[in-house]
């Protein structure tokens, strides 16, 4: 029987791909592969729905990318964020507008939607299974960052009843930075990255406000304490380093498993979708017997390096500037003089 004799025969002949990690890149990739009739199984350690430490602010991803992944309609009711403000220790230093609106939607809702969408396409999602990053044909690792000792802690919560100065509020401090952006049902996601401080002792529900206060953002901490906090939304993550990750040799990894862009860029969720899009064509070619597995892996890696190398380099440099007092003084001074090249900075990390 000829491989391309009928569309029905493709579904039988295509080789299966197993994706370990049911986050944004894993589920988006599964959706796209199913649209090409590739058999897909996703292994996910956790359960849905769930809250994750995430900015929940999708900036820089195009409609064409979402359409190529087959998930564009899942964002029809997402908030469209256009305005932003940047504050330093509670003082406004810059306000601006995004050239293209960013999408606001919680991971609690989005991951669940992606799960149901993949299942509706015939993909298999198995929860409660923690896989191992073992290289092999037909295996894709999208289970996030590699745990390692790092100086950072990420904290997140949903609050309601807070008035913001813009759709997105960015707050920098001496120990890190945080962002506030609206998601569905009137909730605001508050997510921050801070230098780990072992001297800070606080209950889990108070860690976010305590770290904000420690970095000079006491006004923001007070605003948050007056809000309604969404039950179950408080979460934390530690043991990671932003920047390029080093996956196991021979392992095809996507998303945060390859690179974690500093969160102040607001581009992490977009990169998850973009990395999935970059992997689709080579993986389909392997599934259909038109490319060797190693060739597919090499092509995906080359595509991601070309796509993300510049933005990761620039974001790493800006991350260091924002966490250095002289760097923050420079940014603040440029902003006060109306000389801060914010749009240019934004473009380099997109």
> Could you give the 3-state DSSP secondary structure of residue 178?
strand
Q: Is the pLDDT of residue 7 over 60?
A: no
Residue 239 backbone zone (phi > 0: left; psi -120 to 50: alpha; other: beta): left
Q: Is the dihedral of CA 64, 26, 170, 72 positive or negative?
A: positive
Q: Residue 344 and residue 347: Cα distance in Å, rounded?
A: 5
Which H or E run contains 20?
Answer: strand 17-20
Residue 84 backbone zone (phi > 0: left; psi -120 to 50: alpha; other: beta): beta
* Residue-averaged pLDDT of the chain: 90
Average pLDDT, integer, range 110-128: 97
Q: 68 Cβ partners below 8 Å, 6+ apart? A: 32, 277, 280
DSSP result, 203-237:
-GGGHHHHHHHHTT-HHHHHHHHTSEE-TT--EEE
The residue ranges of DSSP E strands in 35-187, in sequence order, are 40-44, 57-58, 79-88, 91-104, 124-127, 139-141, 152-160, 168-173, 176-182
Q: Greatest CA separation found in the chain?
A: 71
More confident site: 155 or 329: 155
pLDDT value of residue 10: 47
Which H or E run contains 117?
Answer: helix 107-120
Q: What are phi and psi of 28, to 5 degrees?
A: -65, -40
pLDDT value of residue 343: 82
Q: Which two tokens stand for residue 253?
A: 């990894």
Q: Is the pLDDT of residue 333 over 90?
A: no
Average pLDDT, integer, range 35-39: 96
By CB neighbour count within 10 A (0-12 exposed, 13-18 middle, 19+ buried), where does 187 fall?
buried
Average pLDDT, integer, range 100-108: 96
More confident site: 12 or 346: 346
Q: For 7-348, which CATH class?
A: alpha beta
Q: At what angle do helices 268-287 and 24-35 cross, to 10 degrees?
A: 40
Q: Is the pLDDT of residue 31 over 60?
A: yes
Buried residues in 152-180 as b, exposed as e (16+ CB within 10 A): bbbbbbbbeebeeebbbbbbbbbbbbbbb
Q: What percent of the chain has pLDDT over 70?
A: 94
More confident site: 300 or 13: 300
More confident site: 29 or 313: 29
DSSP result, 23-37:
SHHHHHHHHHHHHTT
Q: pLDDT per residue over 233-249, tens digit each? A: 999 998 777 767 666 77
Q: What are phi and psi of 127, to 5 degrees?
A: -95, 160
Q: 203 Cβ partners below 8 Å, 6+ apart? A: none
Q: pLDDT per residue over 207-264, tens digit each? A: 999 999 999 999 999 999 999 999 999 999 987 777 676 667 788 999 887 777 878 7
Average pLDDT, integer, range 26-41: 97
Average pLDDT, integer, range 182-198: 95
Name the band, by pLDDT with cuts 50, 70 and 90, for residue 113. Answer: very high
Q: Is the pLDDT of residue 121 over 60?
A: yes
Of 37, 25, 220, 231, nearest to 123 by C-alpha is 37
Q: Which two tokens stand for residue 250?
A: 């021979």
Name the band, by pLDDT with cuts 50, 70 and 90, for residue 314. Answer: confident
pLDDT value of residue 256: 82
pLDDT value of residue 264: 78
Task: Sketch the domain layout of the chain as residue ranges.
Answer: 7-348
Listing from the earlier edge strand, what are the strands of the sheet with 139-141? Answer: 124-127, 40-44, 17-20, 139-141, 252-253
């Amino acid at each position: 029987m000829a491989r391309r004799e009928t569309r029905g025969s493709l579904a039988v002949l295509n080789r299966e791909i197993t994706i370990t990690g049911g986050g944004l890149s894993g589920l988006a990739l599964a959706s796209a592969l199913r649209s090409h009739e590739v058999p897909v199984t996703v292994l996910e350690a956790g359960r849905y729905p769930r809250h994750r430490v995430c900015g929940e602010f999708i900036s820089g991803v195009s409609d064409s990318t979402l359409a190529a992944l087959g998930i564009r309609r899942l964002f029809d009711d997402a908030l469209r964020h256009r305005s932003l403000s940047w504050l330093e220790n509670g003082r406004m230093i810059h306000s601006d507008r995004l050239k293209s609106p960013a999408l606001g939607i919680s991971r609690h809702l989005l991951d669940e939607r992606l799960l149901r969408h993949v299942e509706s396409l015939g993909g298999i999602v198995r929860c409660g299974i923690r896989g191992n990053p073992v290289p092999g044909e037909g295996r894709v690792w999208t289970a996030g960052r590699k745990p390692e000792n790092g100086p950072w802690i990420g904290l997140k919560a949903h609050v309601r009843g807070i008035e913001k100065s813009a759709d997105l509020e960015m707050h920098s401090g001496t120990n890190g930075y945080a962002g506030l952006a609206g998601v569905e049902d009137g909730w605001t996601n508050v997510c921050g990255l801070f230098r780990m401080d072992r001297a800070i002792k606080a209950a889990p529900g108070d860690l976010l406000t305590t770290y904000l206060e420690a970095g000079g953002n006491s006004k923001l901490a007070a605003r948050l304490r007056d809000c309604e906090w969404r039950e179950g939304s408080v979460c934390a993550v530690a043991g990671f380093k932003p920047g390029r990750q080093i996956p196991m040799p021979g392992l095809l990894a996507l998303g945060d498993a390859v690179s974690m862009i500093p969160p102040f860029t607001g581009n992490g969720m977009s990169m998850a979708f973009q990395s999935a899009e970059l992997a689709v064509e080579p993986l389909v070619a392997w599934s259909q017997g038109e490319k060797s597995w190693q060739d597919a892996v090499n092509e995906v890696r080359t595509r991601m390096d070309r796509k993300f190398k510049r933005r990761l380099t620039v974001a790493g440099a800006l991350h260091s500037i924002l966490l250095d007092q002289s760097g923050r003084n420079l940014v603040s001074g440029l902003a006060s003089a109306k000389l801060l090249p914010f749009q240019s900075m934004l473009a380099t990390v997109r």
